[in-house]
């Protein structure tokens, strides 16, 4: 199967081809402007949205519009399908423990950073116990599996790149959101802001897709104070009375649902060469750099900035990451470097 991680600008050990770069300019422009729902619809055979067809006419030779759009629609539909199939096959290859067909059926495209010209995908891992088991969680036998963890999903290098947070809380779905690490963090995340972030995570991918075009992405540097203010303003406009409205109440529990839990962020920082930990560097770099990975609560983060490194555990570069890799089907993780 053609490796569509290349489609996400991630170098692959099997080939140097990059399908995204091979796309014609109008196709690349069109694909970068699709919303999550439109991309999902096109993967199911829907036509190119009319709003995009109008914007792309300048790229189409005169008299060839109908033929061009028919071919483009089919090509983009196939690409969307292959991306989903690749992600499911990748999960199976990484030892996820269940079939690629099941994963393909469970796949959801939840966000498309349209301003970057690149696409980001993840699998929606809600559902049966074998999914949680495959991600390192025990079967649900009257106890909450796993707890809070940092979700790992495909990302890409760049000045406005996406990384993700996630949490597991049975029976709620595992959900990860991207955020834009655009400014240095000056203060830790407060308790109320942590609850706000958890509440948004609880909302689910349908809510994210529905509001993505309304600017939900801007808040997603969740430890940035200005982003939190914007999110609160968004909630007020959406008639959400309080954070508690977003968090499910259970008998004998408060609405906070995670009363003692904190969201954690997995990051990397540079370590001396003597440690022997080696991770391939960012796209475009020719040398390897040495990093080590750990996890911290969001509330303790201060003065961090993002760096964009592509992790390649499939090549044996992640000896220190065995535990994390047993819990995830992805080969790309967000990385952070201390100032």
pLDDT in tens, 280-314: 333 223 333 333 333 333 333 332 222 222 222 33
Query: DSSP letters along 120-160, please?
Result: EEEE---SSHHHHHHTT----SSS--S-EE--------STT
**Per-residue confidence at 53, pLDDT binned at 50, 70, 90?**
low
What's the rounded mean pLDDT across residues 225-250? Answer: 38
For residue 50, is pLDDT > 60? yes
Per-residue model confidence (pLDDT) at position 46: 63
Residue 331: strand, helix, or coil: coil
**Please, are residues 315 and 199 in contact by the beta-carbon 8 Å criterion?**
no
In angstroms, rounded to a whole number, what is the distance separating the alpha carbons of residues 123 and 330? 10
In angstroms, rounded to a whole number, what is the distance separating the alpha carbons of residues 116 and 113? 6
Per-residue model confidence (pLDDT) at position 128: 31
Strand (E) or helix (H) holding 105: helix 100-106
For residue 51, is pLDDT > 50? yes
Q: How far is CA 179 from the centre of its chain?
A: 9
Residues 6+ away with beta carbon under 8 Å from 194: 262, 263, 298, 299
- Among 46-50, 77-81, 197-201, 276-280, which range has the highest average pLDDT? 46-50
Per-residue model confidence (pLDDT) at position 100: 31
What's the rounded mean pLDDT across residues 217-221? Answer: 28
Per-residue model confidence (pLDDT) at position 65: 53
Secondary-structure percent of the chain, ordered helix, strand, coil, rounded to 5: 40, 15, 45
| Both structure tokens of 4 | 């569509």
Give pLDDT tens digits for 83-133: 444 433 333 333 333 233 333 333 333 222 222 222 223 333 233 332 222
Per-residue model confidence (pLDDT) at position 67: 56
**Please, are residues 198 and 247 in contact by the beta-carbon 8 Å criterion?**
yes
Q: Which residues pair with 296 in a beta bridge?
A: 265
**Please, are residues 267 and 255 in contact by the beta-carbon 8 Å criterion?**
no
Per-residue model confidence (pLDDT) at position 26: 53
Q: What is the mean pLDDT of the chain?
A: 36
In angstroms, rounded to a whole number, what is the distance separating the alpha carbons of residues 93 and 97? 9
Give pLDDT tens digits for 175-196: 222 222 222 222 333 444 444 4
Per-residue model confidence (pLDDT) at position 47: 62
| Both structure tokens of 293 | 């990975």
The residue among 266, 328, 286 whose CA lies nearest residue 11 is 286
Per-residue model confidence (pLDDT) at position 69: 53
**Per-residue confidence at 35, pLDDT binned at 50, 70, 90?**
low
For residue 255, is pLDDT > 50? no
**Please, are residues 139 and 129 in contact by the beta-carbon 8 Å criterion?**
yes
Residue 180: strand, helix, or coil: coil
HSE, CB side, 13 Å, CA atoms: give it for residue 51.
5
Lowest pLDDT segment from 44-53, 61-70, 208-217, 324-333:
324-333
* Look-up of token digits 């036509």: 47
In angstroms, rounded to a whole number, what is the distance separating the alpha carbons of residues 7 and 24? 13
Distance, first Cα to last Cα, the chain: 41
Q: Which residues pair with 122 in a beta bridge?
A: 108
What's the rounded mean pLDDT across residues 4-26? Answer: 41
């Amino acid at each position: 199967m053609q490796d569509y991680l290349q489609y996400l600008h991630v170098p692959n050990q099997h080939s140097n081809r990059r399908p995204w770069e091979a796309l014609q300019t109008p196709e690349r422009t069109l694909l970068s402007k699709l919303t999550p729902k439109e991309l999902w619809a096109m993967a199911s055979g829907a036509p190119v949205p009319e709003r995009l067809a109008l914007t792309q006419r300048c790229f189409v030779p005169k008299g060839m519009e109908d033929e061009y759009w028919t071919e483009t629609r089919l090509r983009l539909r196939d690409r969307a399908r292959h991306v989903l199939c690749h992600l499911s096959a990748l999960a199976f290859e990484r030892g996820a423990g269940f079939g690629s067909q099941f994963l393909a059926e469970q796949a959801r495209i939840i966000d498309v950073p349209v301003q970057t010209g690149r696409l980001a995908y993840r699998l929606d891992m809600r559902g049966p116990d074998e999914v949680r088991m495959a991600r390192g969680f025990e079967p649900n036998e009257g106890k909450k599996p796993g707890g809070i963890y940092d979700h790992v999903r495909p990302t890409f290098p760049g000045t406005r790149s996406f990384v993700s947070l996630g949490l597991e809380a049975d029976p709620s779905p595992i959900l990860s959101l991207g955020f834009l690490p655009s400014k240095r963090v000056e203060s830790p995340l407060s308790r109320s802001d942590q609850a706000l972030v958890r509440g948004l995570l609880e909302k689910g991918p349908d809510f994210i897709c529905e509001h993505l075009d309304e600017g939900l992405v801007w808040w997603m540097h969740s430890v940035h104070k200005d982003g939190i203010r914007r999110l609160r303003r968004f909630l007020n406009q959406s008639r959400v009375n309080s954070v508690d409205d977003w968090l499910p109440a259970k008998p004998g529990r408060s609405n906070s649902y995670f009363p003692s839990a904190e969201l954690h962020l997995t990051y990397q920082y540079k370590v001396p060469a003597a440690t022997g930990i080696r991770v391939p560097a960012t796209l475009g770099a020719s040398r390897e750099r040495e990093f080590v990975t750990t996890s911290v609560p969001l509330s303790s983060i201060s003065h961090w900035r993002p760096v964009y490194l592509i992790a390649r555990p499939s090549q044996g570069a992640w000896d220190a990451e065995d535990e994390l890799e047993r819990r995830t089907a992805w080969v790309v993780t967000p990385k952070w470097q201390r100032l």
